[in-house]
């Protein structure tokens, strides 16, 4: 059985969130995290993805 596709939600500069499939297709950008998660869920459901991964912003890490 092929490995499941993973949908990534990646923070971008200016408060935007990028939603993308690792292996195919374009990236989609959203200003609202909730909308980005909705789209990621739809992509995951439609593409048989095993999971949605939300990445941390480098600025949010505590030193």
From residue 59, alpha-carbon distances to 42, 49, 62 in Å are 28, 28, 8
Token digits of residue 42: 């739809």
Report the C-alpha gap between 61 and 21 in whole angstroms. Answer: 25
Token digits of residue 34: 């909730």
Q: What three-state secondary structure class fits 17?
A: strand
* Model confidence, pTM: 0.74
Report the C-alpha gap between 33 and 10 in whole angstroms. Answer: 10
Token digits of residue 56: 């941390």
pLDDT digits (tens, 9 = 90+) for 21-60: 875 668 899 999 999 999 998 888 876 667 888 998 766 6
The residue that leads in pLDDT, 16 or 2, is: 16
């Amino acid at each position: 059985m092929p490995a499941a596709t993973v949908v990534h939600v990646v923070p971008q500069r200016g408060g935007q969130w990028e939603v993308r499939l690792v292996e195919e297709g374009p990236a989609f950008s959203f200003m609202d995290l909730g909308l980005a998660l909705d789209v990621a869920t739809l992509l995951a459901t439609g593409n048989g993805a095993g999971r949605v991964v939300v990445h941390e912003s480098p600025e949010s890490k505590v030193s």
